Structure 1
């Protein structure tokens, strides 16, 4: 072993580093405490609580001479209560690992970093140091993959007692579908200094919290450069008149496919839809759809967007997204970047997030105490064109009716979770126009006034009790009839709630169709359970409850209750899974597509320019292979997307992310001077380091 490495890793000095996790609204929501023993054993306690939930983890590990772990273990509970019990050892060239969801071993030579399924940020700190010592800043991962790291920025910060130090912004790629950004100390033995998660929280060493605003601003600037490069490479401008020839247009009003047509597009709008083969007068661009079905751009009506998730939306035909809760400043910035063409993203319809103060509060949007504060927040949203308000779990029930009345007065729809202490029926009586999540709907029959629904109860109670709920009982039938009479739209997010019946180690149902297309580290996570399910009897009960949740959506739809399609999970791909579950609930594939197009526009109040393919509306067009009106799984076969005046090829995005493509061929863009096909422009190997998506669950 070189003397430099011996000096770096051979000596151990006892120390403790404490990190504080501070939410965007300046509340401490957790901490990470790292205790390094003089015997080489490091112990980590990691915990945070937001929105009534969060992980509690106890780790310990030892490092080898190359700075990677030779022993690792973690125990505790994940965000939704699942048991975490994971172990890793490496002896010489033999590595072994086991957890509640997997078991494996591998022969490996040289440095290699183990990637835990559930771990603290100290795992990233280990990787930062090991990568700094690794050739070319690359490190093999276990079970598979390669981690890379590069420096994006450097800044001097001031901390306790006026002490100063230089920290660097690092971008790590090779894990997940987006880069990970960390602030690290400088020098020969760097370690984690802090993590900035824009719009959510930051985690910095205790005493250095004053540095957070500057670090956040610098990180945003560095990310913006990366994202602008992605947008420039993968969005192909359609200048002049474009004709999409020989397209079979899906009529979202009638839920049928029409005869072959030619669609004319100019400056981002449809100017005409004519029978296929009609004379064309001096078109600048031509795209031969080749008889493919063309859908109106799909809507995801339940997302929490971030600056990296848009690529997945674009690659899956989701051209419009309703954001159901975000950091207000962060979302406004993303809207500006998208409008300027600097962000590869769908068009976002924002819903204003309104929460009440409590130990269970979600730290998004506005967190208020009284009616004047609620009205002030509504004014802020109305002045910025928000068409909808979303009310959350801790909202004070005493002012609910007056708050809704004021939002209606300002022209906004109102939806949300059901505030603690109320049933869905009470929210309807107060004026709700829509309810989010199937569990929030069915809790109507399961809760009492003193039932706490701001913690994991809102997941456990439906899992335990819906199995025995009689859908033919008078209270259930009367409630469904009321939903239909009032035309209350329901945003069930069935795909997201499949985790309620997922046993650790089993593939989560909505991801089964896409797992084989994903990078190995992403697919690995699809088999990690999130609920605590004790034994086969509990599993069967939870499976029955979830099956009845799916059934209930079909019951509501057949009764005339408006259904919308939302995800609250991985962008794009989960929307397709949601449509498959709507079909499982009893809708035809064409009706499910109608939900994701016509209903999407109707319940975002954008029907004047979206939701159907007719002259005058925005040219949001999705070309798909196969026939999703007969087989809903064909909706995954997106070959090209047109939106905001750009042509986008999913194959280019998939290649950049390491995703196996869902279609083999894409229609070429024939310009007046030369053809452009998928892969000829915009695709580049380095793009994988600059494009991706992340998901924070808020259900």
Structure 2
């Protein structure tokens, strides 16, 4: 006999302020829960059914999760346990544990899990050991009031750390019931009786996150009143594609004031000296495909990324974020903005503007131009017949035009319609893999990549597209790393892309990385992805050899994927020195920053990275970061990763003050 349902809670899931999913939580009389979570955003979304029961310590002793993950991959996660032992099996692994009870964290779950984790931690004094490993920390950070039915309801806001890659907030009322979950970004889950409080919750999340990041910035940012000298470093020269002899680089505030041979350098009064210890200094790296959130600034700086190109965002949030990063109020890279314009359909991505008419779309272009955006980005559901008018208006106003290939058209037609750049290597390749009229607003834009193994790169369609790109100077933002992750991630395995850093990460993130993302019916389907991904690398090499620019981006926010993007270019056969030049000088020039960024020269902006090793011998050395400088502010990845709950990868260089007087 099924347990009686005592009460049901209904929540709405919001992405960028628009409702795109729901969660139903049924509380049974035997203290068990049943949840059903569904999201649909940008043609994809999770669909999860969960059943769980908890003990007196608020620790689940039974937990079942089944359904589909974000990209449609299968989910089946089972956990059972008691006071003596626990067992589980999931896509990520099979395991068991004995001894004191711990909090199990499913690899795929709804945001309600954050409240389950918070309650377990609070019942154990604020922190609780997790399974398969790690710890969850929860602290009360804010008291406030929300309103429902005309009444003010006192609520408490808790910060939860350790479940995933970034902290998260949960809001509860005096009875201990969850009202909302707020990610440090654009997504949130709100109980339906508080849905009209969405603007207040959005503002609350923004205030709490910015306050948190301001405090972190005060701890990790190092800025000196006098000159700073970095000694004993070899500098990557993007013109000669070589490393220099040992050099000394001096900076003052946000500018490079001197670059000279180390053996001839003379100390000056009041300077701070940093020992480069024979490492390599390179200009700051770029992520040419980002969708930034406030918390992302920490990850980018720790990874040596000092400039990102945002490829679509909630407009007001992005403008506020860039102000905080540019002024140094919060930690983050320089941002070059792209204005997102999407078409209206059931598959629309919830960013930027979604116009209903061509005139509204043209107004969106003008809105972005008036606010100094670098370019517009066109997305999947856009009416392809509007594109010539949109690109013409963008060009008239001095903006570039880039984007996905809208559904029901081809890369060739969009290039002819005025595109200056194509976004994603799969978007380019789909023009050679799909019949005209295919609906790429759906996950087909990924799953069709399984056909790439049979692609003939010498075929007429391929040659025609490349000829168009060469003639018109069209580049590609490949995001090969995210294509690799989606095509090749497999249950219970660690991708080579993730192996260098994954064991340092919070357990929830580790488990997410060890699963199969793509939907499949048989092992033959998976083999097709395995056999097709090498064709992606061949396309990258072909484009490079044809003189078609590649702009390394990730569609991710961890920073680590920037490193992997560069590794993939090298694996494709592009010379390592060329890869490093592209990632530094060429990207800066492409973004209109070449006069001030992209190389380490006197008079240029002080934004560079200290590496331990020689990246020309092995591009993976870009992972070995000891220090990052952005606009003269010095950051040590060791400190940033400690703040994020990630085990650091390096130690800061030795720093001394020069007391000699002039």
Q: How big is the shift at 1:13?
A: 6.5
Q: Residue 329 of structure 1 is aligned with which of 310, 316, 319? A: 316
Deviations along 1:6-36, one digit per CA (max 9) or x if unpaired, are xxxxx9861111111233344x211001112
Aligned position for 2:387: 400
State yes or no: 1:123 paired with 2:109.
no
Q: How big is the shift at 1:55?
A: 0.6
Structure 2 unaligned residues grouped into runs of 5+: none
Comparing 200-209 with 589-598, greater Cα deviation is found at 200-209
CA–CA separation in structure 1 for the residues paired with 2:158 and 2:290: 28
1:102-117 aligned within 5 A: 102-110=93-101, 112-117=102-107
Q: Secondary structure of the residue that 1:129 maps to in structure 2?
A: helix
Aligned position for 1:101: 92
CA–CA separation in structure 2 for the residues paired with 1:673 and 1:279: 13
Aligned position for 2:54: 63
Deviations along 1:156-211, one digit per CA (max 9) or x if unpaired, are 22213x34422211101122332111111224xx1321123465343211131121
Q: Residue 16 of structure 1 is aligned with which of 5, 8, 16? A: 8
- Alpha carbons of 1:553 and 1:472: their partners in 2 closer, same or farther (altered >3 Å)? same
- Alpha carbons of 1:580 and 1:248: their partners in 2 closer, same or farther (altered >3 Å)? same
State yes or no: 1:477 paired with 2:463.
yes
Aligned position for 1:178: 166
State yes or no: 1:595 paired with 2:595.
no
Q: How big is the shift at 1:328?
A: 1.0
Contact 2:291/2:557 (CA < 8 Å) preserved in 1? Answer: no
Q: Residue 132 of structure 1 is aligned with which of 119, 122, 131? A: 122
The runs of 4+ residues in structure 1 deviating greater than 6 Å are none
Q: Secondary structure of the residue that 1:228 maps to in structure 2?
A: helix
Q: Secondary structure of the residue that 2:245 maps to in structure 1?
A: strand
Contact 1:506/1:529 (CA < 8 Å) preserved in 2? Answer: no
Q: How big is the shift at 1:570?
A: 3.8
Deviations along 1:608-655, one digit per CA (max 9) or x if unpaired, are 111111222111111111101111111111111111121111122233
Contact 1:355/1:395 (CA < 8 Å) preserved in 2? Answer: yes
Q: How big is the shift at 1:517?
A: 3.2
- Alpha carbons of 1:39 and 1:425: their partners in 2 closer, same or farther (altered >3 Å)? same
- Alpha carbons of 1:635 and 1:329: their partners in 2 closer, same or farther (altered >3 Å)? same
State yes or no: 1:230 paired with 2:216.
yes
- Alpha carbons of 1:177 and 1:20: their partners in 2 closer, same or farther (altered >3 Å)? closer
Deviations along 1:94-122, one digit per CA (max 9) or x if unpaired, are 11111133111101324x22101111123
CA–CA separation in structure 2 for the residues paired with 1:165 and 1:390: 42
Q: How big is the shift at 1:283?
A: 5.3
Q: Secondary structure of the residue that 1:546 maps to in structure 2?
A: helix
Deviations along 1:133-157, one digit per CA (max 9) or x if unpaired, are 32x2222212212212111112222
Q: Secondary structure of the residue that 1:368 maps to in structure 2?
A: coil
Contact 2:107/2:508 (CA < 8 Å) preserved in 1? Answer: no
Q: How big is the shift at 1:540?
A: 1.8
Deviations along 1:44-82, one digit per CA (max 9) or x if unpaired, are 110010000001111111222222211110111001010
Aligned position for 1:76: 67
State yes or no: 1:527 paired with 2:514.
yes
TM-score (norm 1): 0.90
CA–CA separation in structure 2 for the residues paired with 1:459 and 1:670: 52
Aligned position for 2:256: 270
Q: Residue 654 of structure 2 is aligned with which of 661, 668, 686? A: 668
- Matched residue pairs, number? 656
Aligned position for 1:37: 28
Q: How big is the shift at 1:343?
A: 1.0
CA–CA separation in structure 1 for the residues paired with 2:181 and 2:116: 14
Deviations along 1:352-397, one digit per CA (max 9) or x if unpaired, are 1111111111111111122221222122211221111111111121
CA–CA separation in structure 1 for the residues paired with 2:489 and 2:116: 31
Contact 1:439/1:458 (CA < 8 Å) preserved in 2? Answer: yes
Q: Secondary structure of the residue that 1:312 maps to in structure 2?
A: helix
TM-score (norm 2): 0.95
- Alpha carbons of 1:82 and 1:527: their partners in 2 closer, same or farther (altered >3 Å)? same
Q: Residue 419 of structure 1 is aligned with which of 396, 406, 409? A: 406
Contact 2:111/2:189 (CA < 8 Å) preserved in 1? Answer: no
Aligned position for 1:165: 153
1:335-350 aligned within 5 A: 335-350=322-337
CA–CA separation in structure 1 for the residues paired with 2:622 and 2:535: 25
Aligned position for 1:505: 492
Comparing 15-24 with 576-585, greater Cα deviation is found at 15-24
Deviations along 1:538-562, one digit per CA (max 9) or x if unpaired, are 2221111111011110111011110
State yes or no: 1:193 paired with 2:182.
no
CA–CA separation in structure 2 for the residues paired with 1:427 and 1:283: 57
1:499-648 aligned within 5 A: 499-648=486-635
CA–CA separation in structure 1 for the residues paired with 2:624 and 2:4: 54
Q: How big is the shift at 1:471?
A: 0.7
Comparing 551-560 with 380-389, greater Cα deviation is found at 380-389
Q: How big is the shift at 1:332?
A: 1.1
Q: Secondary structure of the residue that 2:466 maps to in structure 1?
A: helix
Q: Residue 282 of structure 1 is aligned with which of 269, 276, 286? A: 269
Contact 1:434/1:488 (CA < 8 Å) preserved in 2? Answer: yes
Comparing 233-242 with 70-79, greater Cα deviation is found at 233-242
Comparing 64-73 with 361-370, greater Cα deviation is found at 64-73
Q: How big is the shift at 1:240?
A: 2.3
Contact 1:128/1:192 (CA < 8 Å) preserved in 2? Answer: no
Deviations along 1:669-689, one digit per CA (max 9) or x if unpaired, are 322459xxxxxxxxxxxxxxx
Deviations along 1:540-593, one digit per CA (max 9) or x if unpaired, are 211111110111101110111101111112421111111110001111221111
Contact 2:114/2:160 (CA < 8 Å) preserved in 1? Answer: no
Contact 1:253/1:612 (CA < 8 Å) preserved in 2? Answer: no
CA–CA separation in structure 1 for the residues paired with 2:118 and 2:169: 11
Comparing 644-653 with 121-130, greater Cα deviation is found at 121-130
Q: How big is the shift at 1:251?
A: 1.0
CA–CA separation in structure 1 for the residues paired with 2:115 and 2:272: 51
State yes or no: 1:149 paired with 2:135.
no
1:377-392 aligned within 5 A: 377-392=364-379
- Alpha carbons of 1:403 and 1:305: their partners in 2 closer, same or farther (altered >3 Å)? same
Contact 2:168/2:182 (CA < 8 Å) preserved in 1? Answer: no
